[in-house]
Amino acid sequence: MHTPTSSEQDLAPIDHIRATEAGTGRWRALTDWWRDNRTTLFIRDNWPLGAVALAALALLSVLLWAIWVIVPKLIGGIDAGLDATGAWIAGGPITHSISDPMRAYLDTHTAGLPATGRDLWITWLVALGVLYLGALTGSTYARIGWAAIGALTAAAVYTGAPAGAGPAAAGLTAAVWLTLSLPAYAASSGPSLGDILDSLTDRRARRTVADTTY
Looking at the whole model, is its pTM more than 0.85? no
Mean pLDDT value of segment 84-112: 80
Instruction: Average the pLDDT over 48-76 and give the result.
Output: 74
Looking at every residue in the chain, the average pLDDT score rounds to 74
Asked if 207 and 160 count as a contact pair (C-beta separation under 8 A), the reply is no
Interhelix angle 93-108/140-160, rounded to 10 degrees, is 80
How many angstroms separate the CA atoms of 206 and 52, rounded? 64
Q: For 56-66, what is each residue's pLDDT tens digit? A: 888 888 777 76
Q: Which residue from 203, 207, 185 is spatially nearest to 195, judged by alpha carbons?
A: 203
Q: Are 65 and 58 in contact (CB under 8 A)?
A: no
- What is the structure's pLDDT at 64? 74
8-state DSSP, 139 = -
| pLDDT tens, residue by residue, 162-211 | 998 999 999 999 999 999 889 888 866 555 545 555 665 666 556 555 55
Dist CA 177 CA 147 (whole Å): 9
How buried is residue 131: exposed, middle or buried, by Cβ count under 10 Å (0-12/13-18/19+)? buried
Task: State pLDDT tens for residues 11-37.
Answer: 445 554 444 545 466 666 666 666 666
